[in-house]
Structure 1
Amino acid sequence: MLTLLSRLTGIFLVTMTLASAAQSSDSQKSILITGATSGIGRNLAESLAREGHHVYAGARTDAEMAELNTIDNITAVRLDVTKQDQVDEAVQFIEERGTGLYALVNNAGIYDGGAVLDTEIDVLNLVYEVNVEGVLRTTKAFAPMVIESKGRIATTGSIAGTVSGPGFAAYSGSKHYIEAFTDSLAAELEPQGVRVSVIEPGNYQTQIRRSAVKRAMSRVVGDGGVVTSGMEKQFKAMEEVELSYKKPDEVTLAYKHALLADAPLRRYVVVPNAEEQRLTIETKIRELVELNSWGPHSYDNEELVEKLKSALGQ
């Protein structure tokens, strides 16, 4: 009797263990993050990995990949979003691992540019090569796996996609594209069960500004010039500014809602202070007024207020 009871208990425990493992496997999501070596991408990758999800982390160098591979639940993938061969190889790599792909996070991006009349065409092209073409390239490549999973696609935009000003035309322009890209892709993939979001951060601690200064100094050297002490001071000042910002934990929270919540939002404006929120929303309101300022079909003030109330109600 005791022997039979022991056997039944053993069978029960094994069954429960297998069921638990199956449940854990079903709940674990495989998520690819481009630009996962620092800043927002790294913060998100580590947070998702800690929670038991499997992260494919895009990196460009051997050293970056080796570092990422030391983290539990993270698998480094060599992925420069400007290189089609690396994108294709990353697709093949994930397919061969057999994990499927629940979500794609288009996070890789750069800042560069300057005043409109001073920006060289090759600098503008570089920004769009990464921030626009890179997003489109990776999305086209990995969308079939995400569609099969009925999963999620989320992209790092910016409040600069709404707010622009002196020196920001190239970068803001690339983030304006992400706004249009998100709306179009969301409408196109909704019938296939895929939800699409854009995360629009304000000023958080990343390396995007320091990287821009480094590229500017490299261009000077490439043109036969010399990096001056003034340029070095500029880099140091930029470093101090970036390190003074909050870490992007709030951006990660928004991303996790977009990727994992039952009812994700289309847009997530994530800012570290009330001033950046005010600036973003007031810019949208000003644009609304400007759009309504000309032509015979404009709404009067009361009609505009009713439209806003209706939208808030939805």
Structure 2
Amino acid sequence: MSRLLSRLSGILLVAISLASAAQSPETQKSILITGATSGIGRNLAEALANEGHHVYAGARTGAEMAELNAINNITAVRLDVTKQDEVDAAVQFIEDGGTGLYALVNNAGIYDGGPVLDTEIGVMNLVYQVNVEGVLRTTKAFAPLVIESKGRIATTGSIAGTVSGPGFAAYSGSKHYIEAFTDSLAAELEPLGVKVSVIEPGNYQTQIRRSAVKRSMARVVGDGGVVTSGMEKQYKAMEEVELSYKKPDEVTLAYKHALLSDAPLRRYVVVPNANEQQYTIETKIRELVELNSWGPHSYDNEELLEKLKSALGQ
């Protein structure tokens, strides 16, 4: 009985959100965002809701859901992307609401890891359970609704899907997967009228780094250790770094283009400064040169430049 009442209450919230929408039914979109409680997901959810779209906002706790439900045009959905039962329940919830689903935003993600030789397999697995398996799980579950709407699927990648360095093997590896995932899914769903994009942010204000430090401290306690003053200082320093970054408004603008434009791009590199843009692009150029550096079938320099010019022309 309690589960039935909860579902009926959720459907009522959907109805209230739709009734308060500023847009007409023809222009309003229903969009699901995973990981919508903070950072990029929360910024995007509020922006879309403010413009009259109906947002299903993924959250993991009752308190988070209550906070999201208090915002006009947002309906909270309990959704841990690592739990198939919650994903299945979210699909059923949206189907019961009768709104359909125009777009899925795969935003939930975590950072963790460290130097390759020091990273435990369990830590690596956790990153992949959220950033890789979670994206695959939600996409497979919600794709039928998006296909029915001939809508959009967009995923939060990272410039770490192109660049990497010491301590980033786990996270960058998961974001490299998102690049391949996007290209494959885009080709597979294009005949069905669904557009697929990846948004690749640089360093913006989120809680992803602080959350990683918290998990590290929790592992220490779980192993019988104690949180030292040095660990607490590390968290405080990470908090100061994260709060010094720009809010992810620019990431939201890219997402809105990917979700609502008539001509969405496959990739959106969104960075807060020129240095991050240049570093990302120069890394890709270096990799292009490396790919062409070995074997009898490589292009000569002039041919390679012509290929680049041709691609720029397209």
Q: How does 1:223-242 map to 2 (within 5 A)?
A: 223-242=223-242
Q: For residue 5 of structure 1, what is the aligned residue in structure 2?
A: none
CA distance in 2, matches of 1:304, 1:296: 14
Q: How does 1:100-139 map to 2 (within 5 A)?
A: 100-139=100-139
Q: For residue 52 of structure 1, what is the aligned residue in structure 2?
A: 52
**Is residue 2:142 matched to residue 1:148?**
no
Q: For residue 66 of structure 1, what is the aligned residue in structure 2?
A: 66
Runs of 4 or more consecutive aligned structure 1 residues displaced over 3 Å after TM superposition: none
Q: For residue 16 of structure 2, what is the aligned residue in structure 1?
A: none
Q: For residue 220 of structure 1, what is the aligned residue in structure 2?
A: 220
Is the 2:45–2:55 Cα contact (8 Å) retained in structure 1? yes
User: Alignment length, in residue pairs?
Assistant: 294
Gaps of 5+ in 2: 1-20
CA distance in 1, matches of 2:56, 2:102: 11
- Matched to 2:97, the amino acid is R
Q: For residue 287 of structure 2, what is the aligned residue in structure 1?
A: 287
Query: For 1:265, what is the secondary structure of its paired residue?
Result: coil
Query: For 2:132, what is the secondary structure of its paired residue?
Result: helix
Query: For 2:26, what is the secondary structure of its paired residue?
Result: helix
CA distance in 2, matches of 1:200, 1:219: 29
Q: For residue 183 of structure 1, what is the aligned residue in structure 2?
A: 183
- Matched to 2:150, the amino acid is K
Return the offset for 1:26.
1.2
- Against the structure 1 CA distance between its residues 107 and 23, is the aligned structure 2 distance closer, same or farther, given a 3 Å change threshold? closer
Larger radius of gyration: 1
Identity %: 91
- Against the structure 1 CA distance between its residues 22 and 257, is the aligned structure 2 distance closer, same or farther, given a 3 Å change threshold? closer
Q: For residue 7 of structure 2, what is the aligned residue in structure 1?
A: none
TM-score computed with the length of structure 1 as normaliser = 0.93
Q: How does 1:35-46 map to 2 (within 5 A)?
A: 35-46=35-46
- Against the structure 1 CA distance between its residues 23 and 221, is the aligned structure 2 distance closer, same or farther, given a 3 Å change threshold? closer
**Is residue 2:311 matched to residue 1:311?**
yes
CA distance in 2, matches of 1:163, 1:184: 21
Q: Deviations over 1:119-170 (max 9, x none)?
A: 0000000000000000000000000000000000000000000000000000
Q: For residue 278 of structure 1, what is the aligned residue in structure 2?
A: 278
Return the offset for 1:52.
0.2
CA distance in 2, matches of 1:281, 1:167: 21
CA distance in 2, matches of 1:301, 1:28: 50
Return the offset for 1:183.
0.0
Return the offset for 1:23.
7.6
Gaps of 5+ in 1: 1-20
Query: For 1:75, what is the secondary structure of its paired residue?
Result: strand
**Is residue 2:37 matched to residue 1:34?**
no
- Matched to 1:288, the amino acid is L
Q: Deviations over 1:34-76 (max 9, x none)?
A: 0000000000000000000000000000000000000000000
Is the 2:198–2:266 Cα contact (8 Å) retained in structure 1? yes
- Matched to 1:247, the amino acid is K
Q: Deviations over 1:229-249 (max 9, x none)?
A: 000000000000000000000
Q: Deviations over 1:207-239 (max 9, x none)?
A: 000000000000000000010000000000000
Q: For residue 3 of structure 1, what is the aligned residue in structure 2?
A: none
- Matched to 1:115, the amino acid is P
- Matched to 1:129, the amino acid is Q
Is the 2:22–2:51 Cα contact (8 Å) retained in structure 1? no
Q: For residue 11 of structure 2, what is the aligned residue in structure 1?
A: none
Q: For residue 16 of structure 1, what is the aligned residue in structure 2?
A: none
Query: For 1:31, what is the secondary structure of its paired residue?
Result: strand
CA distance in 1, matches of 2:304, 2:280: 19
